[in-house]
Amino acid sequence: MARRHDPERRQRIIDAAIRVVGTKGIAGLSHRSAAAEADVPLGSTTYHFKTLDELLVAALRQANEGFAKVVAARGGLEDPRADLPSELAALMGEWLAGDRTGVELEYELYLAALRRPALRPVAAEWAAGIAEVLSRRTDPVTARALVAVVDGICLQVLLTGVPYDEGYAREVLRRVSTGAGG
C-alpha cells in the first residue's frame, strides 16, 4: 500500500487536540481521542507525538498565540506614547471579549503545567514573551509584575464569572507600573 502524502496531518492533529480539550478538558485528551477528532489513524498521532505531553506542548504553543495575536494586532504596547496601563487593560478586555472557549482553553492548557512538567517551559515562554514586550516600556521587574496582574485578573474573570472591569484593571495596572498605592 502506497503511503499517502499528507503534509497537513500534524497540524490537523494539533487542531483536533485543541478541540478535544475544549470540549472534554485535558482529561479527555488521548492519542485515540485526538486521532478520532482529526480523522486520522491512531498511529499518526503516535508518529507525530510520541507522548501525550508532546501533543499537549504543541497544543499549548498554538493556544498561546491567541493573546499574542491580540497584542500584535493592537500594537499599542510598542508605542511609547500610549499609556501602558490603559493599553494593557484594553488588550485584556479585547482578549476576554473574544472567543471565550479559546480563552478558557488557553488557560486550561497553561494551568495544566502545574501537573505536567513538560508544559512548564511553554507556559514560561508565554509569560517571558509578554514580559519582554513590556520590558521595552518599563523595567524587567515591573514587566513581570504586570504579567502576574494580567494573569490574576484574567483568571478571576474566568473562574468567578464576574464581568471584566476595564477601569479596575487599568487602575491596578497603573498602581503596579508606577509603584503608587491608595
Distance CA 179, CA 174 (A): 8
pTM of the model: 0.81
User: Which tens digit of pLDDT belongs to each residue from 6-45?
Assistant: 779 999 999 999 999 988 988 999 999 999 999 999 999 9
CATH number at residue 27: 1.10.10.60
What is the total count of domains within the chain? 2
DSSP state of 136: T
Is 50 inside a domain boundary? yes
Is 4 inside a domain boundary? no
Distance CA 150, CA 62 (A): 20
Distance CA 29, CA 94 (A): 29
Domain containing 25 equals 9-59
Q: Which comes out higher in pLDDT, residue 179 or 151?
A: 151
Q: Which comes out higher in pLDDT, residue 126 or 83?
A: 83
H-helix segments, the chain: 9-24, 31-38, 42-48, 52-63, 65-74, 84-97, 100-111, 120-135, 140-160, 166-178
- Same domain as 70, residue 152: yes
- Same domain as 107, residue 33: no
User: Which tens digit of pLDDT belongs to each residue from 85-120?
Assistant: 999 999 999 889 877 777 888 888 888 888 889 889
CATH number at residue 107: 1.10.357.10
Distance CA 106, CA 100 (A): 10
- Same domain as 146, residue 88: yes
Is 69 inside a domain boundary? yes
